[in-house]
Amino acid sequence: MQYHRYGGSEVLAVEEVEEPHAGPGQVRIAVRATGVTPADWYLRSGRLRDFVSPAFPHTPGMDAAGIVDEVGEGVVGTAVGDAVFGLVPFADQGGAAAEYAVLEAWAAKPRAWSFEEAGGAAGNIDTATRVLEALAAAEGMTLLIEGAAGGVGTITAQLARARGLAVIGTASEGNHGFLERFGVVPVTYGAGLADRVAALAPRGVDVVLDAAGKGSLADLVAIAGDPERVVTIADFDAARHGVRFSRSEAGESPGWAGLPLAAEQADQGRLTVPLHAVFPLKEIATAHDVSALGHARGKIVVTVP
Ligand SMILES: NC(=O)c1ccc[n+]([C@@H]2O[C@H](COP(=O)([O-])OP(=O)(O)OC[C@H]3O[C@@H](n4cnc5c(N)ncnc54)[C@H](OP(=O)(O)O)[C@@H]3O)[C@@H](O)[C@H]2O)c1
């Protein structure tokens, strides 16, 4: 699946291209499923053009699950035929919405997950792990997640619970029961959030993740009491509030270590990947459009035939 110029989801088209090959330290997989994230359609629409410049034609897709069919030089512990899930070499370059994709970081697919679940997991595990490290999230703390019902929010909440944190998560009321399934105390976002959170956490909130990017950083800093205790992954106004913006960078990510740990937790029944919707690759334009509605409950995934 590729596009040759910025535009609406109609620029996406299936094309025949040269197969990619695994370089040193990489594997190539026959892709079974890949995740769709808001960054896929931000990038496609040109909204990120001041920050990243994708090479055209661009193949979207930042994470995937499938069967290893090529092992690069220096790779140990993974063999052709293994089922894995993981991340493309650099998120901004995409490449996973295809029959074959090269992965730079991966782990064995948990038996507990379908390929659909595994295909939409790695990016959010990487992000959640990176953010929890940045916040020095530790047992006994209380974490507030703004935008807890989406792809990043549901994974971050579960990984935080597994680390022994209490989690309060914002969502629209229709998603409150959904959040409770993950041990998250739900709260409605928007005006008056500080009062609602204070009622739920009388001793205060230790750390905050803004996974929504809806302009609430001033409120979130007031709730945390210190901008150092807040990380956003979605609000480009972060610096004005003294808040750190976390994003994937080229090169090794502190989030990669989260992949095998998360796989272990999945097989212990402690980490699930709730799926909002699954589309076949030829309907990836619809998957982008559904993501752009901004109300995914869990992860949107595309399967590759
Ligand atoms: N920097 C990074 O490394 C990185 C990595 C991944 C994602 N991101 C960014 O992080 C954001 C979230 O990604 P995602 O994949 O989790 O998105 P997603 O799956 O599309 O989730 C969207 C969620 O946002 C919630 N939401 C909508 N309006 C809200 C509001 N005003 N306040 C609070 N929550 C609201 C929705 O909940 P309701 O339906 O209940 O409203 C929905 O569950 C996106 O902007 C994405 O680009 C950044």
Structural domain boundaries in the chain: 9-121+273-303, 125-245
The CATH homologous superfamily to which domain 9-121+273-303 belongs is Medium-chain alcohol dehydrogenases, catalytic domain (3.90.180.10)
| pLDDT of res. 184 | 98
CA distances from 60 to 37, 99, 214, 302 (A): 10, 12, 24, 11
Task: Determine which helix (DSSP H) or strand (DSSP E) holds 170, and give its type and residue range.
Answer: strand 166-170
Cβ of 233 below 6 Å from ligand 1 = yes
Q: Is the pTM of this model over 0.85?
A: yes
Placement of tokens 């409150």 in the chain? 176
Q: What is the pLDDT along the chain (305 residues), one digit of tens a residue?
A: 999 999 999 999 999 999 999 999 999 999 999 999 999 999 999 999 988 888 999 999 999 999 999 999 999 999 999 999 999 998 788 999 999 999 999 999 999 999 999 999 999 999 999 999 999 999 999 999 999 999 999 999 999 999 999 999 999 999 999 999 999 999 999 999 999 999 999 899 999 999 999 999 999 999 999 999 999 999 999 999 999 999 987 777 888 999 999 999 999 999 999 999 999 999 999 999 999 999 999 999 999 98
Residue 106: which of 69, 63, 141 has the closest Cα?
63
Instruction: Report the nearest-CA residue for atom 2 of ligand 1.
Output: 247
In sequence order, what are the residues at sequence separation of 6 or more whose Cβ sits closer than 8 angstroms to the Cβ of residue 200?
168, 185, 187
Residue 206, burial from CB neighbour count under 10 angstroms (0-12, 13-18, 19+): buried
Cβ of 175 below 6 Å from ligand 1 = yes
Cβ of 212 below 6 Å from ligand 1 = yes
Cβ of 191 below 6 Å from ligand 1 = no
Q: Is it true that 9-121+273-303 and 125-245 share their CATH fold?
A: no
| pLDDT of res. 266 | 98
Going by their DSSP bridges, the two strands 184-187 and 142-146 should be labelled as: unpaired
| Ligand 1 center to 82 CA (angstroms) | 32
Sign of CA dihedral 232, 234, 239, 241: negative
Q: Can you give the C-alpha Rg of the chain in angstroms? A: 19
**CB-CB contact of 284 with 97 (8 Å):** yes
| pLDDT of res. 225 | 97
Compute, in degrees rounded to 10, the torsion defined by CA atoms 134, 273, 287, 172.
-70
Compute, in degrees rounded to 10, the torsion defined by CA atoms 160, 182, 150, 286.
140
CA distances from 20 to 17, 55, 88, 211 (A): 9, 15, 12, 32
Give bridge partners of residue 237 from the DSSP assignment.
none
Could you tell me how many residues make up the chain? 305
| pLDDT of res. 51 | 85
| pLDDT of res. 173 | 98
Residue 47: which of 77, 82, 92, 81 has the closest Cα?
92
Instruction: Report the nearest-CA residue for atom 15 of ligand 1.
Output: 151
| pLDDT of res. 54 | 87
Architecture of the domain made up of 125-245: 3-Layer(aba) Sandwich (3.40)
In sequence order, what are the residues at sequence separation of 6 or more whose Cβ sits closer than 8 angstroms to the Cβ of residue 157?
143, 145, 148, 167, 169, 179, 182, 183, 184
